[in-house]
Amino acid sequence: MYTAHINNNTYQIEFESNTLQKGRLNGEPFKLDLIKDSETEFHLIKANNSYSVEVVSVNHDSKEVVLKLNGIIQHLTLKDEIDELLKNMGLGKSIKHDDKEIKAPMPGMVGKILVKAGDSVKKGDILLVLEAMKMENNIKSPVGGTIQAIICKVGKAVEKSEILLVFA
């Protein structure tokens, strides 16, 4: 189940199996004919209505998509059940960068550490993988800088807001 926010409207979407062409929209069945014209352009037919769809931009971190639907810009945010659960638990916020410390955004277990003390990183580089709720969560650097110390250990549990690493 997905929740889609388009402009000021909210939709509940359930897709059948592994297809994006059949499912339920707000509880009502739907079927789409979808033709991919290019990597970012599609032709869509739903209920005998034809739509030209162009993907203008995608932000994978915030799950925000800008579409051009028949020439009109539409802003779309798509969240799944895990996103909604994290939001309701107060864990859906981005990692805070406070006093050069990276803290765990949620309780979990450290699966991988991809940096070591002395490494230079850029904003957006993946620093470590935190396993939580049967998912692997990439913890990215909010800033560029040099890693001073790794506080966490692979295989060890961490609590929400526990310091994982420190920048120099």
CATH number, position 154 = 2.40.50.100
For 38, the domain range is: 2-82
Q: Is residue 129, in this structure, part of any structural domain at all?
A: yes
Q: Are residues 141 and 102 in the same domain?
A: yes
pLDDT of residue 157: 94
String of b and e for 62-83 (b: at least 16 CB within 10 Å)?
A: ebebebeeeeeeeebeebeeee
* pLDDT tens-place values along the chain, 168 residues long: 888 888 889 999 898 877 778 899 999 998 888 888 998 999 998 888 899 999 999 887 778 889 999 999 999 988 887 776 776 666 555 444 445 889 888 889 999 999 999 999 998 899 999 998 788 889 998 888 999 999 999 999 999 889 999 998
Q: Is residue 87, in this structure, part of any structural domain at all?
A: no
pLDDT of residue 96: 45
Q: Are residues 98 and 56 in the same domain?
A: no
Q: Is residue 75, in this structure, part of any structural domain at all?
A: yes
